[in-house]
Structures are given as C-alpha cells and as structure tokens.
Amino acid sequence: MSTWLPTLITKTPEEGYNLAVKLSRMAIKLTQPDADARDRMRPAYAEDAEALIMVSQVIATHFATVAAANGYWKDAQKL
C-alpha cells in the first residue's frame, strides 16, 4: 500500500524542512479538499502578513516534529 507519508526520517535538515512544508500543505488539502475553494481563498491570505506569519508557525511546528523524529540530525551516520 502506497502512502504519501511513509516516514518522518530525512537525511538532512533541509529535507526535513521540505517535509514540514508538505505536512502543512497536506493538512490544508485534507481540511479543504475542494481545490477550487482553496484557489478562491488564496487571494484573501496571500497579502495578509498576519496570515503568512501563522503559516510560518504551523510549518515550524511540523519542522520541530520532524526534527525530533530525526534525533535533531545529531547522528547523521545512522541515517
């Protein structure tokens, strides 16, 4: 069975950050599965500094989760 999230383990912090962004985007897709509705809402937050800061906070939370799952990449040889 294929899944979009087979693991939280990544080789580098940059890959971990990219995964955090993907986790955030997938949460939006699962919350609002209608792509047209997401497209209609985008202009409302695209130029809203407060909304963009909130997005950054969500990504940071996901990144902390990924980093913890990776032992903060302290022992890269085991990956």
In the chain, what are the helix, strand and coil shares in percent, each to the nearest 5?
75, 0, 25
Mean pLDDT, all residues of the chain? 91
Q: What is the span of the domain harbouring residue 64?
A: 13-71
Instruction: Please indicate, yes or no, if residue 3 is contained in any of the structural domains.
Output: no
- Could you tell me if residue 5 is inside a domain? no
Q: Say what the pLDDT of residue 79 is.
A: 52
Q: Is residue 77 in a domain?
A: no
Question: Into how many domains does the chain fold?
Answer: 1
Q: Does 72 have pLDDT greater than 90?
A: no
User: What's the pTM value of the predicted model, to 2 decimals?
Assistant: 0.83
Q: Is 65 contained in some domain?
A: yes
| Per-residue pLDDT tens over the stretch 6-42 | 999 999 999 999 999 999 999 999 999 999 999 999 9
27 falls within a domain = yes
- The verdict on residue 67 lying in a domain is yes
DSSP at 12: S
